[in-house]
Amino acid sequence: MLTDEIRKSLIQAALEARHWAYAPYSNYRVGAALLTTSGRIYDGVNVENAAYPETICAERVAVVKAVSAGEREFQAIAVVTQNGGSPCGACRQVLAEFGLDTVVLIADAEGHLNAEMPLIDLLPRAFTPQSLAD
């Protein structure tokens, strides 16, 4: 269960991270803050590339940082964009690898929470590790 304090803390961390985004082509800066079940927060920013397909989203950066530190269980992720945009399909799929119950907080550049939902609501009928079981 996320408290209001945790929500605010995650959104603030994503807002602060957003300042470091590298978005010289789109100018669409994204910050993310991922809360693990151990209580640690990992931030991420989008990093664009002149070869556009090589761009990586803030959400995936946060996941990679957490996983590279040994984390595998996530509680929530806050995503902050200028207009409160939702995570892309690739980010939804990467998050699904670690659990569809991860809470997704979507906020705008002023820190206003626009949406909150479990990942399963953003990625119904997700392809997960269990999909490979049989």
pTM, to two decimals: 0.96
The superfamily (CATH) of domain 4-123 is Cytidine Deaminase, domain 2 (3.40.140.10)
| Set 59, 73, 97, 116: catalytic member | 59
Residue-wise pLDDT for 18-46, tens only, equals 999 999 999 999 999 999 999 999 999 99
Residue-wise pLDDT for 71-94, tens only, equals 999 999 999 999 999 999 999 999
Residue-wise pLDDT for 91-131, tens only, equals 999 999 999 999 999 999 999 999 999 999 999 999 999 99
Q: Is 59 a catalytic residue?
A: yes
Alpha-carbon span 24 to 108, nearest angstrom? 20
Distant-in-sequence contacts of 13-16, Cβ < 8 A, 24+ apart: 13/41, 13/43, 13/78, 14/43, 14/58, 14/78, 14/79, 14/80, 14/107, 15/80, 15/107, 15/109, 15/111, 16/43
DSSP 8-class letter at 72: -
Question: ∠ at Cα 21 (16, 23), nearest 5°?
Answer: 145
| Domain spans in the chain, listed from the N-terminal domain onward | 4-123
Run of H or E including 45: strand 41-45
State the alpha helices, DSSP H only, in the chain. Answer: 4-18, 58-68, 89-96, 119-122
Backbone angles phi, psi at 25, to 5 degrees: -95, -45
